[in-house]
Structure 1
Amino acid sequence: SVEDRITWSIADSCGQCVFCTDYKLPEKCTSVFKYGHALLADGSGLNGCYATHILLRPGTGIVKVPDTIPDSVAATANCALATIINAISRIPDSAKAVVIQGAGTLGLYACAVLHNRGLRELFCIDTNKERLALVSSFGGVPIDARTSQYKQDRLKILDAAPVGVDAVLEVAGVAELVSEGIQLLRTGGHYGFIGMVHPHSHLDLTGEQIIRKCLTIQGTHNYSRCHLEECIRFLEKTIRSYPYERLVSPPFPLIDLEDAIHEAESQKYCRVSVKPHID
């Protein structure tokens, strides 16, 4: 209703094509439209989020946001967390040891979701000291991937999972990490690809590596409405359990969007927030 706080799916879907129905992949709808990815000439023109207004299209998943979830946290839900909810839903329930490659927003959310499910052998790898400092507060064990430290920190993973971890999630967008991820996986393990959504992601691996270890590789791109609904329920349940607000910068006024972009480039915060309305 009017004045409800809401979030919405990153894309709409028709609900009728084969991807929406038979394949249960509405995020890959044949006529999918993604907010923030279109030109002003596409659709209504009011498609972007760095604006005072946006026009939501039919087929967009809309979810009410409880008052207990701050704006800065809710803003990260409809891409980062919902995508992680989708990716983690593919990991077998029997998994007890997981490695997360990347301690950005997706990686830290993955730590929180898996930790909340009871996993304690949960390792998050990165080279950024500031982001690694957040890992333990989201339930993970920080693993420093800088050359001078990684050999020693890697032993923590091997000691906890001598035959290899049950799953690895790639959320760093770095193709060079995949070879190490395969080495860390046990035979029969699960490898989730989430971050490498760009053309510079050629993989240097052989079919033999996958076949001999009987690995499952699962790509996850975006999410459907059910994942967005689940992520809002998760935030409402755990809002006091993890320091979500530390992931996001203080808000920049929309008029200072250029300054916000420079702040994002500094990587001081995992996400930089922009206040959409003009006072």
Structure 2
Amino acid sequence: MKIQAAVARTVHGPLTLEGLELEEPRADEILVRVVATGVCHTDIVVRDGMLPTPMPVVLGHEGAGVVEKVGASVTKVAPGDHVVMTYNSCGGCPSCEEHAPSYCHEFFPRNFFATREDGTTALSKEGEVIQSNFFGQSSFATHALCHERNIVKVTDAVSLDLLGPLACGVQTGAGAVINALQVKAGRSIAIFGTGSVGLSAVMAAHAMGATTIIAVDMNDERLAFAEEVGATHSLNPSNGDVTAAIMEITGYGVDYALDTTGLTPVIRGAVLSLAPRGCCGVLGASAPGSEIVLDEVHFMSGGRRLIGIVEGESNPDSFIPQLIDLYQQGKFPFDKMVRFYPFEQINEAIADSESGVTIKPVVRM
């Protein structure tokens, strides 16, 4: 079928809206009419050539839409279902078998290689191969093919336009708090970085009943927003030593810390801000080979922990509906981060995300 898609053709270059041909779904594939797609930092990183995803490629991995057609072996969804498309996984490795798909042993090729498992692509333009299947979807398009492993049926009581960000960025921040760190009511947490992922973590901590929620960022406007959605304190490192300020607020450090920046000096400071037996989660990615340097005596003697977190350690089939339930209850107002753009303005949406003008851009098809 003929579709419209935003194609990344050159490193750092603008995406170009083009007419493409999309193959019919295979037996294990699902055709989704995309309603809206979130713009994520990962899309920008790939556009800028920082990961080995081949070009030309259709990116987009926070798609929400309506099922139009299913392959012969598909039983999970049916035409007409409202769905969110999230990250892909294999379903057969030890992690997937233990319901931990974010640590799928094939996570990288299934999400970043932009081909089917057999190396083929579903997109083309007058015979030219266009890479598809980015995160099992390539949803910067009017239609996308995905799989049972990365599709989640959602309620039709909430606008589909809004739900795409739950697939990655929002799921990552909220899941880090709820699933990975398992923040308990009455506890304290410091969240380093208040982009859409960090702010999702702030909202989740508030929803879980954390009583001290400290947001850390260089952007005072983001810090003010963090306080609107649940932070009890905000700290700007330009105003002084953050670790000392956290100690002053808590008396002995925080129970949990979460780094969303991937900056190794920030991670060190996050660990130093932990109370004894505290845990710090790291979900921001840095350059390959980056090393985290810790104060070994401080780390060991307090029984502190440092863990890596991917996609919020979420099982999307259950966690995305959980976030929607929290939203409907008024406990998780992630919609306050969202700004909508028409598909034709996708490059403006990306630029506004990079500059910080918009916290979470969503493009409507």
Note whether the superposition's TM-score is higher than 0.5: yes
Kept in 1: contact 2:204–2:332 (CA 8 A): no
Question: Is 1:25 aligned with 2:25?
Answer: no
**Structure 1 residue matching 2:95: 3-state secondary structure:** coil
Kept in 1: contact 2:327–2:334 (CA 8 A): no
Distance change in 2, residues 1:161/1:69 (3 Å): farther
User: CA separation in 2, counterparts of 1:269 and 1:195?
Assistant: 19
Kept in 2: contact 1:9–1:225 (CA 8 A): no
Superimposed CA distance per residue, residues 236-256 of structure 1 (whole angstroms, 9 cap, x where no aligned partner): 333434542331222232x33
Of 263, 268, 285, 1:179 maps to: 268
Gaps of 5+ in 1: none
User: CA separation in 2, counterparts of 1:182 and 1:232?
Assistant: 32
Distance change in 2, residues 1:181/1:224 (3 Å): closer
User: CA separation in 1, counterparts of 2:105 and 2:244?
Assistant: 46
Gaps of 5+ in 2: 1-77, 123-131
Distance change in 2, residues 1:252/1:25 (3 Å): same
Matched letter for residue 167 of structure 1: Y
> Which has the larger strand fraction?
2
**Structure 1 residue matching 2:288: 3-state secondary structure:** coil
Distance change in 2, residues 1:244/1:30 (3 Å): closer
Matched letter for residue 80 of structure 1: G
Matched letter for residue 93 of structure 2: C
Which structure exhibits the higher relative contact order, with contacts defined as CA atoms closer than 8 Å and separated by 6 or more residues? Answer: 1
**Structure 1 residue matching 2:144: 3-state secondary structure:** coil
**Structure 1 residue matching 2:88: 3-state secondary structure:** strand
CA RMSD of aligned residues (A): 2.7
Superimposed CA distance per residue, residues 223-264 of structure 1 (whole angstroms, 9 cap, x where no aligned partner): 5663453233223333434542331222232x3332322222
Once the two structures are aligned, what percentage of the paired residues are identical?
19
**Structure 2 residue matching 1:139: 3-state secondary structure:** coil
- Work out the number of aligned pairs and report it: 269
Question: Is 1:168 aligned with 2:257?
Answer: yes
**Structure 2 residue matching 1:19: 3-state secondary structure:** helix
The alpha carbon displacement at 1:77 in A equals: 0.2
Kept in 2: contact 1:12–1:60 (CA 8 A): yes
TM-score by length of 1: 0.84
Question: Is 1:52 aligned with 2:129?
Answer: no
- Please name the residue that 1:244 is paired with: 334
5 Å matches for 1:41-190?
A: 42-45=119-122, 46-47=132-133, 48-69=138-159, 71-72=161-162, 74-88=163-177, 89-92=179-182, 94=184, 96-147=187-238, 149-151=239-241, 157-190=246-279
- Please name the residue that 1:196 is paired with: 285
Distance change in 2, residues 1:209/1:68 (3 Å): same
User: CA separation in 1, counterparts of 2:264 and 2:253?
Assistant: 20
